[in-house]
Amino acid sequence: MRELDDIVREGMPKTALDAFIDALGASKYGEFAIQLRNKIVPRATYTRVDRFNLQVSETTERMARLYAMALSVFDDPEAAARFMANPHPELGDRAPFEAALTEIGGREVEEVIERGLHGLPA
Residue 66 lies in a domain: yes
Sequence-separated (6 or more) residues with CB below 8 Å from residue 90: 108, 112, 122
Asked whether the predicted pLDDT for residue 49 surpasses 90, the reply is yes
Residue 9 lies in a domain: yes
120 — pLDDT class (breaks 50, 70, 90): low
Q: What is the DSSP string of 20-52?
A: HHHHHHTTTTHHHHHHHHHHHS-HHHHHH-SB-
The parent domain of residue 101 ranges over 2-117
Give the pLDDT confidence of 65-114 residue by residue, as tens digits.
999 999 999 999 999 999 999 999 999 999 999 999 999 999 999 999 99
Q: How far apart are CA 122 and CA 88, in angstroms?
A: 9
- Quick one: CA dihedral 28, 77, 14, 114, positive or negative? positive
Average pLDDT over residues 1-21: 91
Give the chain's domain count: 1
Asked whether the predicted pLDDT for residue 23 surpasses 90, the reply is no
Residue 80 lies in a domain: yes
96 in Cβ contact with 105 (< 8 Å): no
